[in-house]
Structure 1
């Protein structure tokens, strides 16, 4: 892509800019700041809309007592059991068990803190789910 072709459309970044590699007048690669690309914004909006719907479903499971708040926060932060295991050092089979409210609610403060740290939230935030998503 030429420097002059780097998109400068509206994006989800707001006032932030993103770096793109583009070819300058001498045929060399330069880093060029871009506001965004309309196509990228459309796709991101579509994906986030779908994620919000799924997050509402998971929230419903938590409110019905079918899943722990851990499941909600995993989904919100787009973490799989494997990824969360890597972040926390907690075995995958234990994380699966912790998705059950009765098990999750009996965890030690240390285990809860490991999860809270992985999501970069407080223990209280981990135990709760927000009213608005």
Structure 2
């Protein structure tokens, strides 16, 4: 790609960041150039965020229906999966998955709830009383 071929499409990130590309200059040597955005990449990112929004809404519905605990919702909201959350709270993944069950969640010790609350940057009371 030549420097003048670097995409400069409108992007939601154009005022926040620029991407660096390696390009060939007119002399045939490699150089760098900046891009404001690329429409194809912007569409892909928008689609990914739409998918995330759907997952968060489904998690919220599961909490409201009594199928999942607030831990599940906040994990989705914070863009985590079971393995990441388990590593942040210092537990095995299977234990974290058990805490997605409303009955198990209601019996969690204060210390365990505090670990989750810290990771989610909320209070223990917010975590315990969250109903969606």
What's the TM-score once normalised by structure 1's chain length?
0.77
Alignment of 1:103-114 (within 5 A): 103-114=104-115
**Poorly superposed stretches of 4+, deviation over 6 Å:** none
Q: Identify which range, 62-71 or 19-28, moves more after superposition.
A: 19-28
Q: Residue deviations 1:76-129, cap 9 Å, x none?
A: 23322112112221111210111012222332333223223333x212554536
Seen in structure 2, the aligned counterparts of structure 1 residues 10 and 108 have a Cα distance that, compared at 3 Å, is farther
The 8 Å contact of residues 6 and 34 in structure 1, kept in 2 or not, is answered as yes
Query: Could you list the runs of 5+ residues in structure 2 that have no partner in the other structure?
Result: none
Seen in structure 2, the aligned counterparts of structure 1 residues 3 and 77 have a Cα distance that, compared at 3 Å, is farther
What's the TM-score once normalised by structure 2's chain length?
0.78
Q: C-alpha distance in 2, partners of 1:85/1:55?
A: 19
Larger Rg: 2
Query: Could you list the runs of 5+ residues in structure 1 that have no partner in the other structure?
Result: none
The residue aligned with 1:59 is: 60
* SS of the residue 1:7 aligns to: coil
| CA root-mean-square deviation | 2.4
Seen in structure 2, the aligned counterparts of structure 1 residues 21 and 98 have a Cα distance that, compared at 3 Å, is same
